[in-house]
Every structure is written in structure tokens, then in C-alpha cells.
């Protein structure tokens, strides 16, 4: 297995948000996971509100499981408003965030992706301040990626990169150079 480039590891620690009503947020996350894996970085992907593996997840589990670990925190079917979420939805979302926290703090992963976690927040399954606390508690050398529709303003404030399927802001403007496994 390829060892990660130490300069790539040393440059980690940013927060990304992929939001908006257009499709492609999960694909953007998985593309970033592939880029990171290509440079030997280890990635944890926790998918909220999903229980059926997508093509990206199947490909990763079958081909890249030594570098990218995936888990899903959702029930069969969809949580659809205006119908209220089920008790199981709350349990799965909060349990998923707890599990993702364990993985983030395990020292095993350079990047942690929380796919659709922003939808879990907008549906009230996870309180916005709980996710903000999660973000602020991350180790300095872990790249954190959050996706989903309806990003809460408090979460957007914590991010170094916000994309609403178009660039909103970018940490390059603050002097962070292009980094292997993230932008390259």
C-alpha cells in the first residue's frame, strides 16, 4: 500500500461544505475521496440518511477498501418532509455522528466525509450546534467534508471552502496553496 506523502498530510485540516439544490454533492465528495486515496491518504465516508449503496460506494468498497472506509446511517426508504421523521431516523443520525466522531479521532483517517449530514441537520435529526461542536472538535490534521442541501449558516461559518455547486468561497484566497490529495 502506498504511504501518504508527508507534505500532503501536513497540509490537512480544512473544512469543506458541498451544498445546493443541484445534484453532484455526493459525487464531489467521492471524487475528493478518490483524489486523496490517489496520494495515499486514508478516508472515512459516513453517509447519512442512506442505506442503499450508490455506484461510488460499491466501487470504493470493492476496489479501494484499504484506503477508503464507508458506512451508512439510514433506513430503507426516504425521510420526506412534510411527514415527520421516524424515531429510527433520529437514532440513526445521532448514532452515525457518534460513529463518525470515533473514526475522526481514531488517528486512522486523514479525511472524514459526512455525506448528506447537512440534510440531517435541516430535517432536525441533528441540531446545528451539535454539528458545529463536531467540526470544532476535529483534530487539526483531519480534512473534514460535509455535504447536503440546506446548509445552516452556523455550519457555513465554520467552513474554509463552501460550494453551492458553484464556488462560494475558497481558502486559496487566504494563502492556503494547492495541496496533494485535496486540490491536485
Mind listing the pLDDT tens digit for each residue in 37-58? 988 999 999 999 877 777 777 7
* pLDDT score recorded for residue 170: 81
Torsion of CA 71, 157, 18, 117, to 10 degrees: 30
Q: In what order do the strands lie in the sheet with 43-48?
A: 68-73, 43-48, 111-115, 143-147, 15-18, 161-163, 167-169
Comparing C-alpha atoms, which of 31, 181, 183 is closest to residue 109?
181
- Percentage with pLDDT > 90 across the chain: 59
* pLDDT score recorded for residue 138: 97
Mind listing the pLDDT tens digit for each residue in 2-29? 678 788 888 999 999 999 988 889 889 9
Q: Does the structure show a pLDDT above 80 at 184?
A: no
The pLDDT confidence band at residue 165, using thresholds 50, 70 and 90, is confident
Q: How many Å apart are CA 151 and CA 69, to the nearest integer?
A: 25
The chain-wide mean pLDDT, for the chain, equals 89
* pLDDT score recorded for residue 125: 95
Q: Which domains does the chain have, with CATH numbers?
A: 6-174 (3.40.50.300)
Mind listing the pLDDT tens digit for each residue in 99-122? 999 999 999 999 999 999 999 999
Q: How many Å apart are CA 137 and CA 123, to the nearest integer?
A: 23
In this structure, are residues 94 and 103 in contact, taking their beta carbons and an 8 Å threshold? Answer: no
How many H helices and E strands in the chain?
7, 7
Residues in the chain: 184
Amino acid at each position: 500500500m502506498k504511504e501518504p506523502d508527508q507534505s500532503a498530510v501536513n497540509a490537512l485540516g480544512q473544512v469543506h461544505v458541498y451544498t445546493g439544490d443541484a445534484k453532484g454533492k455526493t459525487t464531489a465528495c467521492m471524487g475528493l475521496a478518490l483524489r486523496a486515496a490517489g496520494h495515499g491518504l486514508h478516508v472515512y465516508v459516513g453517509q447519512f440518511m442512506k442505506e442503499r449503496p450508490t455506484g461510488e460506494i460499491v466501487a470504493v468498497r470493492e476496489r479501494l477498501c484499504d484506503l477508503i472506509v464507508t458506512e451508512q446511517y439510514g433506513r430503507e426508504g426516504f425521510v420526506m418532509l412534510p411527514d415527520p421523521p421516524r424515531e429510527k431516523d433520529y437514532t440513526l443520525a445521532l448514532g452515525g455522528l457518534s460513529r463518525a466522531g470515533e473514526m475522526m479521532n481514531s488517528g486512522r483517517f486523514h479525511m472524514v466525509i459526512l455525506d448528506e449530514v447537512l440534510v440531517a441537520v435541516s430535517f432536525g435529526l441533528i441540531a446545528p450546534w451539535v454539528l458545529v461542536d463536531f467540526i470544532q472538535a476535529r483534530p487539526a490534521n483531519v480534512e473534514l467534508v460535509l455535504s447536503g442541501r440546506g446548509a445552516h449558516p452556523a455550519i457555513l461559518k465554520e467552513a474554509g471552502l463552501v460550494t453551492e455547486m458553484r464556488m462560494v468561497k475558497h481558502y486559496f484566497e487566504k494563502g492556503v496553496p494547492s495541496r496533494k490529495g485535496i486540490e491536485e
